[in-house]
Amino acid sequence: MMQISSDPASNKNSLINVMHRFIAATNNMDQTIMVPSLLRDVPLEEQESQQVEVVENNNEPSYPNKQRDMYEHYLLLKSIKNDMEWGLLKREMSGGASFLEMAVKQEEQQSITRGLPVDESSDLEGQFHYHLRGLFGVLSKLTVQADHLTNRYKREIGGANFMR
């Protein structure tokens, strides 16, 4: 007979553990990065060869994708962590729109454009599983990104010697 643990925190794949891992990675990032302004203008992706394409007509550099710098990414991760810890109420009181709110509005707009009814009661189980899978995927990616940003910061400032 299969035993199911009554403690959801004991399951390494539970939503609670995925959330805790993201928050722990973000807290580690925040504690490691003492001077966030050093992240400004540092590209998010490491580029071993600093080759810039040149447009043939006027010899101006061409940047196919303008990426966020590490500082903007750092702020994004902290903002998402704060939304998770404090909920949307704090942001609503301050008048700003959170990333979570923007995502919900975008989802509603896509449902309207596809001609699907935005009925709250239709297929709640399907909606739950769809969003749960998305939440697992997003939180896992954000955790990896927070760890990557922390390690990259350590390498950039020469702090790799202090890694435990």
Name residue 53's beta-bridge partners: 62
Q: Identify the pLDDT of residue 156.
A: 82
How far is Cα 18 from Cα 11, in angstroms, rounded to an integer?
10
With a cut of 70, say whether residue 16 has pLDDT above it. yes
Residue 158: pLDDT band with limits 50, 70, 90: confident
Per-residue pLDDT tens digits for 82-121? 999 888 766 556 666 555 566 666 666 666 666 555 555 6
Q: Identify the pLDDT of residue 45.
A: 76
Q: Identify the pLDDT of residue 9.
A: 54
Integer angstrom CA distances of residue 94 from 48, 84, 134 = 42, 16, 27
Q: Identify the pLDDT of residue 49.
A: 37
Q: Identify the pLDDT of residue 99.
A: 57
With a cut of 90, say whether residue 134 has pLDDT above it. yes
Residue ranges with strand state E in the chain: 53-54, 61-62
Residue with tokens 């903002």: 79
Per-residue pLDDT tens digits for 17-70? 999 999 999 999 999 999 998 889 888 776 543 444 433 444 444 444 445 789
Any alpha helices (H) in 114-123, and if so which ranges? none
Q: Average pLDDT in the 77-81 region?
A: 94
Chain centre to alpha carbon of residue 23 = 11
Q: In this structure, are residues 111 and 118 in contact, taking their beta carbons and an 8 Å threshold? A: yes
Q: Identify the pLDDT of residue 62.
A: 42
**Token pair of 104, please?**
């919900």
Q: Identify the pLDDT of residue 48.
A: 41
pTM of the predicted protein model: 0.63
Q: Average pLDDT in the 120-143 region?
A: 89
